[in-house]
A = this chain, B = another copy of it.
Amino acid sequence: MDPHDPAGSIADMADRCRNWGRWGEDDVLGTLNFIDDAKRLEAARLVQTGRTFSLAQPFNMDGPQRGWRRRTNPVHTMLDTGTDAEYGNQGFPHGLGGADDIIAMPLQCSTQWDGLGHIFDRGKAWNGRRAGQVVTSDGDHFTGIETTVDQFVSRGVLLDVGRALAEDLGCDEPELPDGFAITFEHIEATMERQGITASVGRGDILLIRTGQYGRSLREGWGTYAGGPAPGLSFTTAPWLHEREVAAVATDTWGFEVRPNEFESAFQPLHQVVIPNMGLFIGEMWNLEGLAAHCAAESRYEFLLTAAPLPITGAVGSPLNPIALL
């Protein structure tokens, strides 16, 4: 990559990692094609204890969003309350009372999947379709997140890069500093350190913990949403491509390192991997509890069920990923 030439570097990397046509002209699943029944069966057989971890952040007004591109925190309001029920002004018979509620939220406000219609490269969406034909004001007509409704079940692998590198980096906490670019060498070092259960291969859903979310819990959100953060280096695209992972999620707002590695750029790795590779990206996942448990047990693989809400035409979805160990 040439730090002075993001456009050229992105074009080259996109050529190198492009999967257009690999699963046919009509494909809408991209790298989810790497998951099949056999893979899921293998994943189910990893379960040893029945212990679960939710990998979702809370959905509430105290979240990290600051309004960028109208991304607010979720606004949850009550349509009916227990106070009214106890007061007796709901009009129901025989002592029945009820509470109901409603939410308004950007689909990217908290723990989420980016759908394949979330990012475009020079006017093109996944599989080479024209961006303007894929996502209009009516939503995503091809790769809406509903097409993945039953797909996100596979072997999950946690790479706790924050924990693996902290000592070498002189960090007191098992966390990477903001602005730290995770290269494939860092990934390989983490895998080696974590051992055999941390191998990464075809169809896996890869979870990369930087530790930034844990730091935010301790120190407050600050600029978690869009500011400096540890994350994947632009240069990891070929590694992700070769490993044939089905999806990658991180505990940060933006998946890739911020500031981005070019002199002037905006989320260049997204531009390569989503529309060109067809890779699903998860962001703002809460890996803290899972990571502590994995470290204690020295075991980093599990059955991961990470189902999006099937919102028709959505270019992403909030979710509550569940690891079953």
Residues of A within 8 A of B (CB): 6-7, 10, 36-45, 47-54, 56-62, 67, 69-90, 92-108, 117-123, 125, 130-140, 146, 149-151, 153, 264-268, 270-271, 303, 305, 307-316, 318-322, 324
The minimal Cβ–Cβ distance linking A141 to chain B, given in whole angstroms, is: 9
Give the CA-CA distance A49 to B153 in the complex, in Å: 13
Smallest CB gap from A67: residue in B: B61
Chain B residues whose C-beta falls within 8 Å of the C-beta of A108 in the assembled complex:
100-101
Chain B residues whose C-beta falls within 8 Å of the C-beta of A77 in the assembled complex:
70, 77-79, 102, 137
The answer to whether A37 and B10 touch across the interface, beta carbons within 8 angstroms, is no
How many copies altogether?
A: 4
Give the CA-CA distance A98 to B71 in the complex, in Å: 14
Chain B residues whose C-beta falls within 8 Å of the C-beta of A319 in the assembled complex:
307, 309, 320
The answer to whether A314 and B76 touch across the interface, beta carbons within 8 angstroms, is yes
Give the CA-CA distance A10 to B97 in the complex, in Å: 13
Smallest CB gap from A48: residue in B: B41
Known contacts A132-B82, A271-B95; decide if A322 and B303 are in contact (CB<8 Å). Answer: no
Give the CA-CA distance A266 to B102 in the complex, in Å: 22
The answer to whether B50 and A131 touch across the interface, beta carbons within 8 angstroms, is no
Give the CA-CA distance A33 to B86 in the complex, in Å: 27
Give the CA-CA distance A33 to B12 in the complex, in Å: 54
The answer to whether A100 and B96 touch across the interface, beta carbons within 8 angstroms, is no
Known contacts A94-B6, A312-B60; decide if A320 and B149 are in contact (CB<8 Å). Answer: yes
The answer to whether B102 and A310 touch across the interface, beta carbons within 8 angstroms, is no
Which of B74, B94, B106, B312 sits near A268, CB closer than 8 Å?
B94
The answer to whether A315 and B95 touch across the interface, beta carbons within 8 angstroms, is no
The answer to whether B120 and A97 touch across the interface, beta carbons within 8 angstroms, is yes
Q: List 26 A-B contacts (CB under 8 A).
A: A6-B93, A43-B50, A52-B153, A56-B307, A60-B313, A71-B79, A77-B79, A81-B84, A82-B130, A82-B134, A83-B132, A86-B130, A87-B136, A94-B265, A94-B271, A96-B268, A98-B118, A99-B131, A99-B315, A101-B316, A102-B105, A102-B106, A149-B320, A153-B322, A307-B307, A307-B321
Smallest CB gap from A307: residue in B: B320
The answer to whether B69 and A72 touch across the interface, beta carbons within 8 angstroms, is no
The minimal Cβ–Cβ distance linking A61 to chain B, given in whole angstroms, is: 6
Chain B residues whose C-beta falls within 8 Å of the C-beta of A57 in the assembled complex:
310
The minimal Cβ–Cβ distance linking A37 to chain B, given in whole angstroms, is: 4
The answer to whether B150 and A10 touch across the interface, beta carbons within 8 angstroms, is no
Give the CA-CA distance A307 to B308 in the complex, in Å: 10
Chain B residues whose C-beta falls within 8 Å of the C-beta of A101 in the assembled complex:
106-108, 139, 311, 314-316
The minimal Cβ–Cβ distance linking A304 to chain B, given in whole angstroms, is: 10
Smallest CB gap from A313: residue in B: B76
- Nearest 5 pairs of A and B residues by beta carbon: A82-B135, A41-B50, A82-B131, A97-B120, A40-B50
Q: A86-B123, A98-B119, A104-B104 are in contact. List 18 more A-B contacts (CB 8 A).
A: A10-B95, A40-B52, A60-B313, A70-B75, A76-B311, A76-B312, A78-B135, A81-B81, A81-B136, A82-B131, A84-B137, A85-B123, A94-B265, A94-B268, A96-B268, A98-B118, A101-B315, A305-B307
